[in-house]
Amino acid sequence: MSLSSPARPERRIPFVLAVLATGIPMFMATLDNLVMTNALPVIRVELDASVEELQWFINAYTLAFASLILMAVALGDRLGRRTVFVAGIAIFTIASALAALSTDPGQLIAARVVQGLGAAAIMPLSLSLLAGSVEPRRRPLAIGIWGGLAGLGVAVGPLIGGAVLEGWSWEAIFWINVPVGLVAIPVILAVLPNAFGARLRLDLLGLLLAATGVFGLVFGIVRGNDAGWDSAEVLGSLIGGGVLLALFLLWERRTASPLLPLRLFRDRSFTIANAVGFGFSFGMFGAVFILIQFLQIVQGHSPLEAAIMTTPWTMAPMIVAPLAGFVAPRVGTRALIVTGLVLQAAGLFWLAVTIDADAGYGVMLPAFIAAGVGMGMVFAPSSTAVLAHIVPADTAKASGTNSTLREIGVALGIAVLTAVFTGAGGELTPTGYVDAAQPAVFVGAAVVLATAVLAIFLPAGRGTHPPTGSVETRESELVGA
C-alpha cells in the first residue's frame, strides 16, 4: 500500500545556493572513484597491499554504492530527501576521515564500504532536491550544471588525485572530503527544503538477497586464483552467490513493492540497454584498473604524469557526450551506442597489442582518444534507450536499476580481469606485469566488442526521448544518466 505525505508548497531558494548545496556533495562523491584508482600504486607500496586487496579498495565502495542506490531513493521518500541526503554526506565524510587514518588494507577496505553507503544516498537525492528547490523556468539550466559537475568529477578525478598524491600523500585524497562535508551539511540544512515522496514498503529482503548474492560472486572470483577454483571457499561463494541471486529474482516476482520490478525487462530497449551498461562497465573499467597501474608500476610515471597521459580518455566524454545527446534523435541511439562500443573495443585491443615497458606515448594516444570518444558516444544515448518506453511512474526504478547494474559491472569487471592477470602469473613489479596484463586487457576488449554486437538488437531509437511528466518524474529520469 502506498501512502503519500500531504502536498507541501515548494520552497524556492536562490539559484546559486541550490546548485552549490546539491552539486558540491555530488561532485565530491563522483570524484572519489577515479581519484582512488589513480592512487592504487602508491597505496599498494605504503600499506603493503596485495593485488587482491587493491581490488577491494575499489569494489568495496562500488558494491556498497550499487546495493543501496534504489533503497536510498525509497528512504528519501519516507524520511525526507534532505534528511537522507545529509545523512549520506555525514556518513561519507566520516568514512573519508577513517580511510585517511587507515594503517592497513583491512581498515581502508572497511572505510570504503562505509563511503559507498554514504555515496548511495548522495547521488540520487541531490538531483531531486535541486529540481524541487529552483523555479521551473530555471530547472533546465540547474540540471545542466548538475550534470556538468557530475561529468567533471569523473573527468578530473585522476588529475586531482595525481596532483594531491604528488604534492602531499595518499591520505590527502580522503582528507579533502572532510572540510567539504563539514561545510555542506549546515548549508544544506539552512537552504534546502525537506521534500517527501510516496511512502512505499521497503523491500529489505530483496536488498539483503541482492547485496549478499553479488558479494558472493565477486568474492569467489577474487579468491579463485589464491584459494583454488575448486576449493570449498571459492565454490561455496560462487554457488551461494548464484543461489541468492536466483532467490532474489523469485522474491521480486512475488513481492508487492519490489526493489527491482522485473516487469520492466519485458521492454526490449530497457533490457538490452541495461545489458549494454553492464557489459560496457565490465570491460572498460576492468581494463582501466589494469592499465592505470601499468603506467606507474611498469613505465615509472608519477600519479600526476599518468593522469595527464590519460586525459584524452577521461576528458573526451565531457565534450562528446553532450554532442551525442544532441544528434541522437537524428541518427538514433542504436547507431551511436554501437559505434561508441566499437571504438572502445578498438582502443582496448590496440592497447593490449602494444602494451610494453618501452611503448611510447604516441603509440598509446590513439587508443586513449578512441576509448574516450567511444565512452562519450555511449553515455547519453544508453540512458535515453533505458527510458525510451518506460512510463513516468517507473522512471525512478528504471534509472536506478541502470545505475545499479553499471556499478555491479564495474565490480565484476575488476574482479574477473584481475583474476585473468593473476592467473597468468602477473605480479605488481616492472618485470612481472606486462605479460599478464595483455590477456587481461584482451578480455576487457572482447567483452566490450561482444556488447557492441548485442547493442545491434536495440531499437533504432530515432526521435525518442525519455518520458516526460512531473518534476519528480523528470528528476528521476536523469539520476541514472
Looking at the structure, do residues 300 and 227 belong to the same domain, yes or no? no
In a domain, residue 49? The reply is: yes
Tens-digit pLDDT string for the chain (481 aa):
344 444 444 455 677 787 888 888 888 887 776 777 778 888 888 898 888 888 888 888 888 888 888 888 888 888 888 999 999 999 999 999 999 999 999 999 999 999 999 988 887 788 778 777 777 777 666 766 776 677 677 667 777 777 777 778 888 889 989 998 999 999 899 888 887 877 778 888 988 898 898 888 888 887 887 778 888 988 998 999 999 999 999 998 998 888 888 888 999 999 999 999 999 999 988 888 888 888 888 888 888 888 888 888 878 877 887 788 778 788 888 999 999 999 999 999 999 999 888 888 899 999 999 998 998 888 778 877 887 788 766 776 777 788 888 888 888 888 889 889 988 888 878 888 899 999 999 999 999 999 999 999 999 877 544 444 333 333 333 333 3
In a domain, residue 5? The reply is: no
Looking at the structure, do residues 36 and 176 belong to the same domain, yes or no? yes
Q: What integer pLDDT is reported at residue 132 of this predicted model?
A: 73
Looking at the structure, do residues 170 and 209 belong to the same domain, yes or no? no
Looking at the structure, do residues 24 and 161 belong to the same domain, yes or no? yes
Residue 370 grid coordinates: 578512441
How many CA atoms within 13 Å lie on the side-chain side of 241?
16
Phi, psi (rounded to 5 degrees) for 287: -70, -40
Q: What integer pLDDT is reported at residue 140 of this predicted model?
A: 64
Looking at the structure, do residues 24 and 110 belong to the same domain, yes or no? yes
Looking at the structure, do residues 248 and 270 belong to the same domain, yes or no? no
Q: What integer pLDDT is reported at residue 466 of this predicted model?
A: 44
In a domain, residue 38? The reply is: yes
Domain with 250 in it: 203-256
Looking at the structure, do residues 364 and 380 belong to the same domain, yes or no? yes
Can you name the residues that pair with 4 across neighbouring β-strands?
Answer: 198
Looking at the structure, do residues 72 and 215 belong to the same domain, yes or no? no
Looking at the structure, do residues 177 and 211 belong to the same domain, yes or no? no
Domain containing residue 413: CATH number: 1.20.1250.20
What is this structure's pTM?
0.80
**Which of 189, 224, 241 is the endpoint of a domain?**
189
Looking at the structure, do residues 402 and 478 belong to the same domain, yes or no? yes
Q: What integer pLDDT is reported at residue 405 of this predicted model?
A: 87
In a domain, residue 2? The reply is: no
Burial letters 385-409, b for 16+ CB under 10 A, else e = bbbbbbebebbbbbbbbbbbbbbbb
In a domain, residue 103? The reply is: yes
Which of 245, 260, 249, 239 is CA-nearest to residue 214?
Answer: 245
Owner of C-alpha cell 561532485 = 27
Q: What integer pLDDT is reported at residue 26 of this predicted model?
A: 83
Looking at the structure, do residues 239 and 143 belong to the same domain, yes or no? no
Q: Number of folded domains in the chain?
A: 3
Looking at the structure, do residues 159 and 246 belong to the same domain, yes or no? no
In a domain, residue 294? The reply is: yes
**Which of 212, 232, 256 is the endpoint of a domain?**
256
Residue 349 grid coordinates: 585491443
In a domain, residue 198? The reply is: no
In a domain, residue 7? The reply is: no
How many CA atoms within 13 Å lie on the side-chain side of 341?
29
**Which of 161, 189, 217 is the endpoint of a domain?**
189
